[in-house]
C-alpha cells in the first residue's frame, strides 16, 4: 500500500509518497508560492529533482500538479493515482476536541475549522489541503494527524496556567504543546532501541530545529512540554522568542509605538537566535560567525543551549530523574556543539556524553553518544514526522 502525506501551509505544500511495506519514501516534493506569483513545484523521485513552474492560485491546483507529477510518464512513480490507498494530512491543532488521528469527514473538517482561533495561520491552510485533496480524489480516505494530541496525557498541573481558571473554562487557554508527532516518534524509537517496552522509562526529548520544543515522556506518555498555548512559548528558537515575561509586550508596544500585532510579529519573526545575534536564524551561520569572533552569535548559541539545559533539569525534577535524553531535528541531529553544551555539567543527573561519538556526523540512524557507563543514555534519533502520519493514516483509514 502507498500513503500520500500532505503538510499544507498557507502558501506552501509539502508531500511524501510512502511505501508502507518498506516504509521508504517513493517520491517527495514541495509546492511554493501557492496563491502568489511564480509558483513552483519541486518534485524528487528516482534520485532526480524536477522543477515545474506553473501557476497555483489555490491548494487545489497545487494538489492536481502533485498528482500529475506522481503519475507522469517522464518523472512519475505511479501508473495511476488509484495506487494511493489513503492520504494523511498534518493538522496543527486538535484543541480539546480530538484525542488522536481522525477520518476527515465533513463533520470533522468543520470541527477542525472551529479551532482556527488557536492556530489562525496554520489550521485553515491544513484544511484547505484536505478539501483540495477530497475534490481531486473523492474516493480516497483522508486522515488528519494532529501536532498536539501526543501532549493530551499531560496532567492538569502541567497544562493549566496561573491565571484565573475561568480563562481555561471559558476560552480554553491552556498549554497544548506542538511537534507531537516528532516527540512521539523519537520517544518510541528510544524505548525500542533501549529495550524498554512495557517497562518504566523516563525520557526527555529535545526537538531542536527552526522551531524547538522539549518534552518529558514517562512510560511513553507526555508529562510536560515546553511549547505552550502557541508555538511561540518555550526555549528561544530560530526567530521566535520563547518564554517571556508578558509585561514586556506592553512595554515594547510603548517603546516601539506599535500595535499588538506588530509586537507579536516582533516576537515571532525577529527574535530568538536571529534577534540576539543580528546574524541569522540558522545555527550553521551562527557557528561560523562565532568562530570568527562574533560575540552576539556566540551569545545566541549560549542562550539556546542554556535554555534547553534548564528544561532538561526541570523535566528530570518532574519525572524523578531521567533514563534517556534524546536529540532530534535539524539542530539536535547535526549540531554537536549544542549537544555538548546542553549536556555539560549534567553529570549530577547521570548524563555523560562521549566527545568522539558526539562528534561523528549524522548518518540518518539512531546513535548512542553516551559514555560507556553513563547512567543516562544520550541518543541522537532522526525524526520522521511523515512516517508517523503515514502509519496513523493507514491505521485509521482501514480500521476494522
Ligand atoms: P524545521 O523546524 O523547519 O522543521 P529543521 O528541524 O529542519 O527545521 O531544522 C532546521 C535548522 O537546523 C536550520 O535552521 C539549521 O539551523 C539547523 N541545521 C541544519 N543542519 C545543521 C548542521 N549541519 N549544523 C547545525 N545546524 C544545522
Closest residue by Cα to atom 23, ligand 1, is 334
Tell which atom from ligand 1 comes closest to the C-alpha of 212: 2
In a domain, 165, yes or no: no
pLDDT reported for residue 121: 87
Residue 147 beta carbon below 6 angstroms from any ligand 1 atom: no
337 shares a domain with 205: yes
Question: What pTM does this model have?
Answer: 0.95
Query: Do residue 218 and residue 142 come from a single domain?
Result: no
Residue 147 designated active-site: yes
Q: What does the pLDDT read at residue 310?
A: 98
Judge if the beta carbon of residue 338 lies within 6 A of ligand 1: no
Same domain, 231 and 322: yes
CATH number at residue 23: 3.30.420.40
Same structural domain, 207 and 283? yes
199 lines ligand 1 (CB under 6 A): no
190 in a domain, yes or no? Answer: no
163 is a domain residue: no
Whole-number Å distance, alpha carbon 138 to ligand 1 midpoint, is 37
- Alpha carbon distance 98, 395 (integer Å): 16
Q: How far is the CA of 283 from the centre of ligand 1 (A)?
A: 7
Query: What is the domain count for the chain?
Result: 2
CA distance 222 to 400: 28
Q: What pLDDT score was predicted for residue 10?
A: 84
Rounded distance between C-alpha atoms, residue 342 and residue 205, angstroms:
13
Nearest CA to ligand 1 atom 14: 282
C-alpha cell at 23: 516504509
- pLDDT score for 400: 81
Please indicate, yes or no, if residue 182 is contained in any of the structural domains: no
Ligand 1 nearest atom to the CA of residue 208, by list position: 6
Beta-strand ranges (E) seen in 129-201 are 142-146
Match 526527555 to its residue by C-alpha cell.
204
- pLDDT score of 395: 97
Domain boundary residue, one of 146, 166, 183? 146
Catalytic residue among 68, 106, 147, 282: 147
Cβ of 9 closer than 6 Å to ligand 1, yes or no, is no
Atom of ligand 1 nearest to the CA of 285: 16
In a domain, 26, yes or no: yes
DSSP letter assigned to residue 83:
G
Residue 106 and residue 22 in one domain: yes
User: Is 266 a member of any domain?
Assistant: yes
Helix 247-256 to helix 260-269 angle (10° resolution) is: 110
Strands of the 84-91 sheet, one edge to the other: 48-53, 40-45, 24-32, 13-19, 2-8, 84-91, 142-146, 102-103
Element (H, E) at 237: none
Distance 206 CA to ligand 1 centre (A): 13
User: What is residue 307's predicted lDDT score, i.e. its pLDDT?
Assistant: 98
Same-domain check for residues 138 and 211: no
219, three cell numbers: 512510560
Q: Collapsing DSSP states into helix, strand and coil, what is residue 219? A: coil
Same domain, 105 and 202: no
Any atom of ligand 1 within 6 Å of the Cβ of 304:
no
Same-domain pairing of 119 and 206: no
d(CA 25, CA 175): 34
Q: Which of 85, 118, 146 is the last residue of a domain?
A: 146
Cβ of residue 238 lying under 6 Å from some atom of ligand 1: yes
Q: Identify whether residues 381 and 233 lie together within a single domain.
A: yes
Domain-ending residue, one of 120, 146, 172: 146
Total Cβ atoms within 10 A of residue 267: 20
Q: Are residue 239 and residue 368 in the same domain, yes or no?
A: yes
Do 202 and 123 share a domain, yes or no?
Answer: no
Interval between CA 387 and ligand 1 midpoint (Å): 19
pLDDT mean by block of 10 residues, the chain; 400 residues = 94 95 97 93 96 94 95 95 96 97 98 96 93 94 98 98 98 98 98 95 97 97 97 96 97 98 96 98 97 98 98 98 97 98 97 97 95 96 97 95
Is residue 159 included in any domain, yes or no? Answer: no
CA of residue 119 to ligand 1 center, whole Å: 23
Cell numbers representing residue 382 in the block: 532522526
pLDDT of residue 263: 97
CB 329 within 8 A of CB 182: yes
* Cα-to-centroid distance, 313 and ligand 1 (Å): 24
Quick one: 208 and 142 in the same domain?
A: no
Could you list the residue range(s) of the whole structural domain that residue 141 is in?
2-146
Inter-residue contact 322 to 375 (CB < 8 Å): no
The answer to whether residue 126 sits within a structural domain is: yes
- Minimum CA distance residue for ligand 1 atom 21: 334
Amino acid at each position: 500500500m502507498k500513503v500520500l502525506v500532505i503538510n499544507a501551509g498557507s502558501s506552501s505544500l509539502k508531500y511524501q509518497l510512502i511505501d508502507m511495506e518498506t516504509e521508504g519514501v517513493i517520491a517527495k516534493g514541495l509546492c511554493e508560492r501557492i496563491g502568489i506569483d511564480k509558483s513552483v513545484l519541486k518534485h524528487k523521485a528516482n534520485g532526480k529533482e524536477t522543477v515545474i513552474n506553473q501557476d497555483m492560485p489555490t491548494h487545489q491546483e497545487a494538489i492536481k500538479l502533485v498528482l500529475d507529477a506522481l503519475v507522469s510518464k517522464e518523472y512519475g512513480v505511479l501508473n495511476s493515482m488509484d495506487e494511493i490507498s489513503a492520504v494523511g494530512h498534518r493538522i496543527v491543532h486538535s484543541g480539546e476536541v480530538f484525542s488522536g488521528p481522525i477520518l476527515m469527514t465533513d463533520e470533522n473538517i468543520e470541527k477542525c475549522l472551529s479551532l482556527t482561533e488557536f492556530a489562525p495561520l496554520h489550521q485553515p491552510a491544513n484544511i484547505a489541503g484536505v478539501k483540495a485533496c477530497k475534490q481531486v480524489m473523492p474516493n480516497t480516505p483522508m486522515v488528519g494527524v494532529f501536532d498536539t494530541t501526543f501532549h493530551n496525557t499531560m496532567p492538569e498541573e502541567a497544562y493549566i496556567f496561573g491565571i484565573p481558571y475561568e480563562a481555561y473554562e471559558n476560552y480554553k487557554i491552556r498549554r497544548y504543546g506542538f511537534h507531537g508527532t516528532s516527540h512521539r516518534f523519537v520517544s518510541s524509537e528510544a524505548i525500542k532501541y533501549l529495550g524498554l517496552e512495557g517497562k518504566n522509562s523516563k525520557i526527555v526529548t529535545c526537538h531542536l530545529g527552526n522551531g524547538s520544543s522539549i518534552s518529558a515522556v514517562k512510560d511513553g506518555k507526555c508529562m510536560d512540554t515546553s511549547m505552550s498555548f502557541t508555538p511561540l512559548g518555550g526555549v528561544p528558537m530560530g526567530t521566535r522568542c520563547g518564554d517571556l515575561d508578558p509585561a514586556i509586550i506592553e512595554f515594547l508596544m510603548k517603546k516601539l509605538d506599535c500595535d499588538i500585532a506588530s509586537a507579536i510579529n516582533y516576537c515571532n519573526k525577529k527574535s530568538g537566535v536571529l534577534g540576539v545575534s543580528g546574524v541569522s536564524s540558522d545555527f550553521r551561520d551562527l557557528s561560523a560567525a562565532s568562530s570568527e569572533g562574533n560575540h552576539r552569535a556566540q551569545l545566541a548559541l549560549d542562550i539556546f543551549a542554556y535554555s534547553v539545559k534548564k528544561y532538561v533539569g526541570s523535566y528530570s525534577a518532574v519525572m524523578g530523574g531521567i533514563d534517556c535524553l534524546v536529540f532530534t531535528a535539524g539542530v539536535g541531529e547535526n549540531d554537536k556543539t549544542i549537544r555538548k553544551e546542553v549536556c555539560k555539567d549534567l553529570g549530577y543527573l547521570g548524563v555523560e556524553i562521549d566527545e568522539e561519538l558526539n562528534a561523528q556526523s549524522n548518518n540518518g540512524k539512531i546513535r548512542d553518544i553516551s559514555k560507556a557507563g553513563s547512567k543516562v543514555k544520550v541518543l541522537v534519533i532522526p525524526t520522521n514526522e511523515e512516517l508517523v502520519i503515514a502509519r496513523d493514516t493507514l491505521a485509521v483509514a482501514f480500521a476494522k
